[in-house]
A and B are shown apart, each in its own frame.
Chain A
């Protein structure tokens, strides 16, 4: 069974930093793209960042470029999100998500989600 367990969320002051972790199990971790998706309280879903299987390619939503860094450890089966210069608008539940692909179409989709970890940015 695929399991993704996030940790590291909490309350942080504006301008502060936080590092989220995601421990994965139940699948061949090094064979999948992974992504972070966030959801502000009472709002919709927002894709934050994605990382290729070997970590060689990383993509970010414009609002976090230069502040957030996605990384992975394929030995520890773990995904990370280093968040710096945090702002109030970064307050959200952050989900660790596995990306699967329909090979013929090269169509990506988010097939397994963690339970999420809440990040609150407030003074």
Chain B
């Protein structure tokens, strides 16, 4: 199975900061990488698909980039509602989709 490694596992930031989360795959998966946001007690929400395509309705301060094995989620000008846990997911392998372990973004 393809392993997904997210870093950092958690970070502290302030409103207005720019935050970067990284996801590394154990093999090339480009561009089959998605990003999700999960607020406490809620279901995950799709942010970015195919590495860099913003899902409809998601604010433009969220952006995704990367190729091959290394991908990045960037949140520009962090807002109070952005404090949540973020997960990456690969859908390169149609028989076994896998998620990263998550990155918790906390208020500094």
Interface residues of A (CB under 8 A from B): 35, 37, 44-47, 50, 59, 61-62, 95, 102, 105, 107-111, 113-116
Most buried by B among A59, A62, A105, A109: A109
Main secondary structure of the interface of B (DSSP, over half): loop
Main secondary structure of the interface of A (DSSP, over half): strand
Is the CB–CB distance between A44 and B46 below 8 Å? no
Structural contact, B99 and A102, CB atoms closer than 8 A: no
Number of A-B pairs, beta carbon distance below 8 Å: 65
In whole angstroms, what is the CA distance A45 to B45 when docked?
Answer: 12
Contact flags (1/0) for B26-54 with A, using CB distance below 8 Å? 00000110101010000111100110010
Q: Are B94 and A59 in contact (CB under 8 A)?
A: yes
Asked whether any CB of chain A lies closer than 8 Å to the CB of B91, the reply is yes
Query: A35 to chain B: which residues have CB within 8 Å?
Result: 97
Partner of A116, one of B43, B45, B55: B43
Select which of A47, A108, A115 is within 8 A of B32 by beta carbon: A108
